[in-house]
Structure 1
Amino acid sequence: MITIRKAKLRDYSTLMELEIDPSQETFVSGFGDLYKNRAPEQDFYVVNEGKELLGFFVIDKAFDKKFTFAEKNELGLRNLVIGKQYQGKGYGTLAMKRLLVYVYGAYSDSSSICLTVNKKNIHAYRCYEKAGFIDTDTFYFGGDAGPQHIMRKKIS
């Protein structure tokens, strides 16, 4: 069973060793880089199956203050990584479905969750779509790897 939870200090060494698929390296950062550049408004989460750490992602509580396309009180989902050896098994989609249930209680002041996904990152786009995120039909052009779809899901 796939679960998500806030990352704990004891998880960090495993997360640092998590391999990113080479096809995804353009679109995401490894845990070490993210952690080194973390901000107080970022919450790090892990994706588990039992005791096995499969991946991680970041919830940005100040997303609406950083991006003009973000709605008021909107959370940002950033940098979903599923380890190379775990990809292609639906773990990303399951984790995102769990996340949508989790944020309802954990971030009750938030109205929605938003993300950007590179136009070239078709696998990630499909993952988010399967989890219920809706493409806003607008693009964010500030990413290092080119235009990104803006996707959003209401928290209800």
Structure 2
Amino acid sequence: MIPDHNNRDAAATPPDALRVVPVEPSLHRALLRLRVRPAQRDRVGSMADLLADVTQCPGSEPMAIMRGDAPIGYYRIDASARSVAGRDFAQPARGLRSLFVDADWQGRGLGARAVALLLEDLAVRHPATRLLVLTVDCDNRAATRIYQRAGFVDGGARYHGGRCGPQQLLLRALP
């Protein structure tokens, strides 16, 4: 059984409810079937590359966005915001990378729900973290809107080395 960090009584979870869980090896095969739209490939990369990259990054936590027992998305939490922002912060901070929802599930509000769940999960598993940091392509308006609605604010910096052009630094204070 996959541990459910958002709901202590997983048996009471409706079969189509969204939740986030740490990626266990038993999920790899299903995660490898996740896809993004062609226009998003350069931003996200392949799932195989994302899973391989985690093994090279100590402190990275790969997370699956689950609908019932099936993964429909993915993201990664990095132990240090430096890996995302290229600098340290005054308060304890972590980085968010590679958040996406499978192409077949996009356009249903699940990205916004996934961000809310990841923030809840982060508060439970890493209560000392006070800041979540990410970068988003400046022209990725849909993702920027989702993050802003979730309380992320402009971090006042641009990263110009992104595969798809400049990226905006976004910050989210945590309780």
Same fold (TM over 0.5): yes
Provide, for residues 110-150 of structure 1, a one-character-per-residue CA deviation record: whole Å limited to 9, x for no partner: 21101000012111111211222112242122212211111
Residue matched to 1:136:
155
Structure 2: gaps (5+ residues):
1-16
Sequence identity percentage: 26
Structure 2 match to 1:50 = 68
Quote the Cα distance in structure 2 between the aligned partners of 1:68 and 1:36. Answer: 22
1:120 alignment counterpart: 139
Q: Which moved more, 1:99-108 or 1:85-94?
A: 99-108
Equivalent residue letter for 1:81: F
Counterpart residue identity of residue 71, structure 2: L
Say whether the 8 Å CA contact 2:61–2:78 is kept in structure 1: yes
Q: Which runs of 4+ in 1 moved over 4 A?
A: none
Residue 89 of structure 1: how far off its partner (Å): 0.6
Residue ranges of structure 1 left out of the alignment (5+ in a row): none
Equivalent residue of 1:127, what SS? helix
- TM, length-normalised to structure 1: 0.92
- Partner residue, 2:52: 36
For 2:34, the equivalent position in structure 1 comes to 18
Q: Is the 8 A contact 2:155 2:169 kept in 1?
A: yes
Segment of structure 1 superposing worse, 58-67 or 47-56: 58-67
CA displacement at 1:23 relative to structure 2: 1.6
Aligned residue among 91, 94, 97 for 1:75: 94
Counterpart residue number, 1:106: 125
Structure ID, larger Rg: 2
8 Å CA contact 1:42–1:60 kept in 2: the answer is yes
CA contact (8 A) 2:97 2:134 kept: yes
Paired residue for 1:94? 113
The residue that corresponds to 2:79 in the other structure is 61
More strand by share: 1
Q: CA RMSD in A?
A: 1.6
For residues 49 and 165 of structure 2, the distance between their equivalents in structure 1, rounded to whole angstroms, comes to 20
Deviation at 1:65, TM superposition (A): 5.8
- Post-superposition offset of 1:28: 0.8
